[in-house]
Amino acid sequence: MNDKLVFLGLLYFVQGIPYGLQSSLLPVYLRGAGHSLTRIGLTKILYFPWVLKVLWAPLVDRVGTKRLWLVATVSGLALTCLSSAALSPEAHIWGVAGTLLAMNALASVQDIAVDGAAVGLLKGRSELGLGNTAQVVGYKAGSVFAGGGLLAVIDVAGWGPMFMLLAFVYFGVALFVWGAPVLDDELLRGQAEGRKGVQSDAVHPWRVWRKLLSVPGTPWTIIYVLTYKLGEQGAVTMFPLFLLDNHMTARELGFWNGVIAMGFSICGSSLGGLLLSQFSIGSLMRRVFVMRTVSMAFQSSLLTVLEPSPLMKVMAVLSLSVQHFLGGLITTLTFTTMMHCTQRAEESVQATHYSFLSTLEVLGKLMFSALAGGLVDWVGYPTAFLLFLVLSAGTALHVWRATDTGALREQLKEQPK
């Protein structure tokens, strides 16, 4: 089991690096250069390959091996970083945007392959909890490394050396995956089972979609993953920029939001895996979603304070830390729910099914976070955060009703032992 966790954690770590670069480093850089919140929000378009990944998920499912796809995509990320190291963000902003778009495209393909491997490798409730913890923690650790750590030192190290370092990290992981023994059994199984029905489904692709939508629990999970992060995503995107406008420097924000707050997010994700081995996922989700709504109400109250002060900084850091802690916990619960649902699908479409759900999860977050900047420019921070709070409360009510009426319980009652 330890080999599986190390393998999955390392792959999700390097997969989180592009997200950290774009979600933490790029917005602070652009805001410091005087760009509007609307323009910063529109940079979320660079995440678009994640929305399209469900289109090529069947290809990854059925052509080649997981090892081959992982080595190819991680090596491609290394080469992309080498290209970016030769660019200057001040003089080649479109070139930088292009490299980030390419990194997102490669990371999205890598995600399909590693998710498919995880579905096959993780067995039983305890392994699912720990495996999804490794997934979320690894991804967020990569995001912290790229978006927090590199943001804190970019003024000293420079853009080029920073991307050279990332290229070496990716090349090292590609070599590790090439020789990883943990994939051997999974590959033999995947090659034997994954190609059943390939020709028929290739000729009739709608059969794949029919299989996906007929998996028990899929309709409820679709609605849930599209909506569970709406309010939180708006707040996570805009509150750091509010602090940058009024209370903190870019370096302070890189440390407190990019490192400390994300550290709390990792702690929340880790705790989620432990709690899942002791409590039902339904009872956990009910309580955590209510707690998130309360924390967002507290954060919204801080928007009335515009004068910089040490007390305001303490309250802001506390709010960010609690928000990320609960967000990390919710993410682990959500991805475990998704994987429970996927394991009921036919083995030949499991990677596609999980990619379908994770694509919708990204789409729900991406669309709202892209619009959040324009919303704040239009109505101001207080009104926008009131909407974020209402959306968060609505999601909590949706989860609460699902556990009461049996929709969530019905989805999870057949979870693997």
Same domain, 249 and 378: yes
Higher pLDDT: 16 or 43? It is 16
Task: Report percent pLDDT > 90 for the chain.
Answer: 7
Higher pLDDT: 367 or 155? It is 367
Over 90: is that where the pLDDT of 413 sits? no
Q: Burial of 192 by CB count in 10 Å (0-12 exposed, 13-18 middle, 19+ buried)?
A: exposed
Same domain, 150 and 19: yes
Token pair for 390: 């209402």
Number of domains in the chain: 2
Over 70: is that where the pLDDT of 160 sits? yes
Asked if 114 and 177 count as a contact pair (C-beta separation under 8 A), the reply is no
Per residue in 176-204, pLDDT (tens digit) is 888 877 666 544 344 444 444 444 454 45
Within a domain: 155: yes
Same domain, 83 and 189: yes
User: 306: domain range?
Assistant: 215-416
Within a domain: 12: yes
Token pair for 327: 């967000």
Per residue in 210-227, pLDDT (tens digit) is 777 777 778 888 888 888
Helices (H), 86-158: 93-121, 124-143, 150-157
Q: pLDDT value at position 221?
A: 85
Within a domain: 207: no
Token pair for 202: 């290739």
Same domain, 36 and 171: yes
Same domain, 244 and 166: no
Asked if 18 and 50 count as a contact pair (C-beta separation under 8 A), the reply is no
Same domain, 265 and 175: no
Name the domain boundary from 193, 225, 252.
193
Name the domain boundary from 158, 193, 228.
193
**Cβ count near 379 (within 10 Å):** 13
Same domain, 286 and 360: yes
Within a domain: 112: yes
Same domain, 345 and 399: yes
Higher pLDDT: 325 or 247? It is 325
- In sequence order, the 6+-apart residues with CB closer than 8 A to the CB of 215 are 341, 342, 344, 345, 353
Same domain, 177 and 71: yes
- In sequence order, the 6+-apart residues with CB closer than 8 A to the CB of 203 are none
Query: What CA–CA distances, in Å, run from 206 to 108, 221, 363?
Result: 23, 20, 22
Q: What is the CATH number of the domain that holds 265?
A: 1.20.1250.20
